[in-house]
């Protein structure tokens, strides 16, 4: 029985060796390898960033194996694009990548060193281009304002200040802000107790008695100075 089993194994081996073609195996492996190489990229959710710019940055991912592709392989080349925040990546087998773009957004126009910039929601300065966005944004002035603006901006939003009425922000080194509204009405805020001052300013703006004043000064705790 053992002898018969050995003869059978030898026959199978002989048949395999006589029909085996290494070239055919290589062709099969190569075909499978090509099958999973990335051939198309779909970009979603981009509003400010141009799709063409994204595709150019990702030219190196084409023909990479979709199984071996990592998120950082896509995210890293995009980091230096203006308004880029993060991405989500989905793989559609066998050869397609879907990239959802999450962008920052411009919240103000900042003037610095005789230059004009967008200030985005992540405190990045981006060279101003009037073709990027059509809506009117408030202007920001003052040395170091870009480092403090988003904090103050978020405080105003959290307290439901009528942000759309703001024309200009003026930052002072001691850490406080003046806001200029339409018709050149100015509100002077203290460098502390921001929430309290913001809520007080909202109430004053709604009060008819304060409509005639062009300046409301809240810098002194417990006092309201008007002009």
d(CA 47, CA 53): 12
- Which position has the token pair 């006092």? 223
* Annotation: CATH topology of 2-103: Ubiquitin-like (UB roll) (3.10.20)
Residue pLDDT tens, the chain, 227 long: 555 545 545 544 455 445 545 554 444 444 555 779 999 999 999 999 999 999 999 999 988 999 999 999 999 999 999 999 999 999 999 999 999 999 999 999 999 998 999 999 999 999 999 888 878 999 999 999 999 999 999 999 999 999 999 999 999 999 999 999 988 899 999 999 899 999 999 999 999 888 899 999 999 988 999 99
Name the DSSP letter for residue 200: H
Contact 146, 116 (CB under 8 A): no
Is omega for the bond preceding 94 within 30 degrees of 0, making it cis? yes
Q: Can you name the residues that pair with 135 across neighbouring β-strands?
A: none
85 φψ region: left (φ > 0), alpha (ψ -120 to 50), beta (else): alpha
Write the CATH number of the domain with boundaries 106-226. 3.40.50.11690
Give Cα separations from 187 to 75, 132, 176, 218 (angstroms): 42, 30, 11, 7
Which residue ranges make up each domain of the chain?
2-103, 106-226
Distance from C-alpha of 53 to C-alpha of 189, rounded to nearest angstrom: 42
Residue 91 · residue 39 · CB < 8 Å: no
pLDDT per residue as tens digits for the range 175-210: 999 999 988 899 999 999 899 999 999 999 999 888
Half-sphere exposure of 119 (CA within 13 A, CB side): 23
Token pair listed for 68: 């071996």
How far is residue 156's CA from residue 162's CA, in Å, rounded to a whole number? 8
pTM of the model: 0.78
């Amino acid at each position: 029985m053992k002898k018969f089993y050995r003869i059978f194994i030898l026959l199978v081996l002989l048949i395999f060796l006589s029909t085996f073609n290494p070239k055919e195996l290589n062709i099969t492996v190569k075909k499978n390898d090509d099958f999973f190489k990335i051939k198309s990229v779909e970009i979603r959710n981009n509003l400010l960033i141009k799709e063409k710019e994204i595709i150019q940055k990702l030219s190196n991912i084409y023909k990479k194996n979709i199984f071996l592709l990592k998120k950082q392989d896509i995210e890293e080349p995009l980091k230096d694009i203006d308004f880029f925040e993060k991405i989500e990546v989905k793989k559609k087998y066998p050869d397609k990548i879907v990239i959802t773009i999450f962008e920052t957004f411009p919240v103000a126009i900042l003037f610095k060193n005789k230059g004009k910039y967008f200030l985005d929601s992540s405190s990045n300065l981006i060279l101003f281009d009037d073709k990027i966005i059509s809506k009117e944004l408030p202007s920001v002035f003052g040395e170091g304002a870009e480092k403090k603006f988003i904090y103050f901006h978020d405080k105003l939003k959290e307290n439901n200040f009528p942000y759309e009425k703001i024309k200009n922000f003026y930052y002072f080194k001691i850490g406080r802000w003046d806001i200029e509204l339409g018709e050149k009405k100015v509100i002077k805020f203290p460098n502390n107790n921001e929430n309290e001052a913001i809520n007080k300013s909202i109430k004053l703006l709604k009060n008819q008695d304060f409509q005639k004043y062009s300046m409301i000064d809240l810098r002194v705790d417990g006092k309201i100075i008007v002009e």
